[in-house]
Amino acid sequence: MNFAKGYLLFGSDDYLIEREKKRLLEALFCRDKNDDTSGGFGAPTTYESVDALFSSGDMNFNRFTGPAVDMDEMISAISTMPFFSERRVVLVEESGFFASANERLLSAIESIPDTTVVIFAEKKVDKRLAAYKHFSKNLQVRECNMLTGSELERWAIGEMLGSAGLKITRDAWQTFLNITTTDKAMTNMSYMSNELNKLISYCHGKESVGVSDVKAIVSGYFDDSIFALLDCIAASDVRGVMTEYDKLILANVEPERIIHMIIWEFQRILSAGELYEEGMSYSEIASRCNMQDWQIKKHAKSGHFKSFPPKRAFAAIEKAADFQYRIRNGSMDAKIGCELLINELITT
């Protein structure tokens, strides 16, 4: 596969920027699992995943992150010859270099060696700058904005649901759009991916997604109520828990949906909490766990990662899944089961 010497990924949608970055790095470093051929002398070292690459210390991969990126170090990495390999890859994330004029940046990208691939993943880009114009004319620019229309449909139905072996009725897809695009300011690809993953989990074992499935599990941003519920559970606040639960019931949220959301949030606490304790940044945790930055920050500031360590979070997931199973097989009333579950989570 032939690669350009430089890629500039930017736009309003963080999820798509992360997806494009991951796809590029996978193509550069992650060999197909079904390919058992040797790369041969000079071929880049291959990894099982991008995460494995990030933690590898590979001598032919440099990663620079944040506005404090050292320009001298970055330029040095770009111009350095690869070590026993055909190429070196330099990843620069959220540096802010394309937000204002920078002659040294322009000089660096004009003279990228044939043995280097540079990937810039940026939030802010000024298209009037010479550096952007050079990229646009001579290298690769990929603008990542919220998908719409047929592109959104192909991604959601073909890529997300299709890869899980699910189809969706036309009415169900329209219902999904009606719920998830009501608040344009909050609608983004990460949110839609999150809701689709919830839908995939909820419809496990089914062949097709119907309107009732979408209405049962896709949320129009009632996350605040679930967060408040978790706050009260963490504090063993029985009265507070029942107050938040009553609010959800009055808002016509089905008890089974509440249980599913409790499972979903504890799963996210379980996976994100360990990364948070390792000191990983909010944005990187969000990328790894398919969440949004604000969700990580909210869990952290609410103390959920400390209140629900892995053992307690895992126990809560198991307990909620057991109640969910009993409700679904008809051996327990949904409302009674939800209330019993919440009570047990407070006392666990």
- Greater confidence, 95 or 260? 95
**Pairing relation of β-strands 140-143 and 167-168?**
unpaired
Lookup result for tokens 């990894």: 47
Whether the pTM exceeds 0.85: the reply is no
Residue 18 has pLDDT above 50, yes or no: yes
**What is the CATH code of the structural domain delimited by 223-347?**
1.20.272.10
pLDDT score for 186: 56
**pLDDT score for 301:** 87
In angstroms, the CA 316 to CA 303 distance is 16
Lowest-pLDDT choice from 13-17, 171-175, 246-250, 261-265? 246-250
List the CATH code of the domain at 6-143.
3.40.50.300
Residue pair 36/21 in contact by the 8 Å Cβ criterion? no
| Burial environment of residue 117 by CB neighbours within 10 A (0 to 12, 13 to 18, 19 or more) | buried
- Contact, 292 vs 187, CB < 8 A? no
Q: Where are the domains of the chain?
A: 6-143, 149-217, 223-347
pLDDT score, position 291: 77
CATH 1.10.8 applies to domain 149-217: yes
If pLDDT is split at 50, 70 and 90, which confidence band does 216 have?
confident
Q: Residue written as tokens 């997604």?
A: 209
How much is the average pLDDT of 214-232? 76
143 neighbors 10 (Cβ within 8 angstroms) = yes
Judged on CB neighbours under 10 Å (0-12, 13-18, 19+), 42 is exposed
